[in-house]
Structure 1
Amino acid sequence: MAKVVFYEKPGCINNAKQKALLYAAGHKLEVHNLLKEPWKPENLRLFFGNLPVSEWFNYTAPRIKSGEINPLELDEPTALKLMIEDSLLIRRPLIQVGKIRQVGFNPEQIDAWIGLTPEPSMIGDIETCPRSHEQTPCPTKG
């Protein structure tokens, strides 16, 4: 059992499923509203590790879906600045256990890291927003 610091968008369907899986595995969660967190570049950057900048983003964010922002064209400082200004751009969830931080919810990686039940192969896609095909984004609570 681990103490998991979990940054979510309240009301996000997949974040709710992800939390349920962590609780079912016996983990204790400290849940934070990702949209209200007072992010600083140096703190936010810790969650992205060695991932390319393009993998830091929530591709269902309205500004990305509209084409206003193209994550493939951004450098690290610009990406962090944009994310701090608009937290909807940040890929979810952000997870921390001890000093280790990561972005996104890959069930196999989570299972190897802290343990996850049920079998990760039976979970399906719980990172891509099920509403990503809709024209109207999820309401922002927060």
Structure 2
Amino acid sequence: MAHVIFYEKPGCAGNARQKALLRASGHEVEARNLLTEPWSPSSLRPYFGAKPVPEWFNVSSPRIKSGEIDPDKVTPQEALVMMILDPLLIRRPLMRIGDHCEAGFDQKAVDRWIGLKQTDEAVGDDCVRSIASDAA
């Protein structure tokens, strides 16, 4: 199975569920702190691949939710600088296996990439706290 370098926000319930699914699927997970990693534009950019810039952002970030930052109006270079200065803006998790990098946790895409154990409940990259508060 795969050795996954998994950049997370420590204490994030969503990231905990994602790591649990990866481990249950037989993958080795090396968790790292997304917030303290010394990111640079060249180290961060590969995680976003061909995704449009708005998909690079964590929609649960307070600065996004408040409207302070509109991801639709940000250039790739501006986005990288913002994310380096405020890592809470980065869509989580960031995952790397060898030279392949991904941002976010799309369960179907991760399953196609490295294989996942089937689950009754979907595991995504939505903020668990936000889902619970939105449902209330």
Matched, 1:42 2:42: yes
Structure 1, unaligned runs of 5 or more: 136-142
Residues 35-91 of structure 1, C-alpha deviation per residue, up to 9 Å, x if partnerless?
000000011000000000000000110111111111010000100000000000000
The 5 Å alignment of 1:1-142 reads 1-119=1-119, 122-132=120-130, 134=133
- The alignment's C-alpha RMSD in Å is 1.4
Shift of 1:118: 2.1
Shift of 1:23: 0.3
Query: In the aligned structure 1, how far is the partner of 2:61 from the partner of 2:106?
Result: 19
Query: In the aligned structure 2, how far is the partner of 1:131 from the partner of 1:27?
Result: 26
Shift of 1:125: 4.6
Q: Secondary structure at the match of 1:96?
A: strand
In structure 2, what residue type is equivalent to 1:107?
Q
User: Which stretch has the larger CA shift, 106-115 or 47-56?
Assistant: 106-115
Q: TM-score, normalised to structure 1's length?
A: 0.89
Q: Is the 8 A contact 2:107 2:123 kept in 1?
A: no
Q: Is the 8 A contact 1:21 1:118 kept in 2?
A: no
Q: TM-score, normalised to structure 2's length?
A: 0.93
Q: Which has the higher helix share?
A: 2
Q: Is the 8 A contact 1:95 1:101 kept in 2?
A: yes
Structure 1 runs (4+) greater than 4 angstroms displaced: none
Structure 2, unaligned runs of 5 or more: none
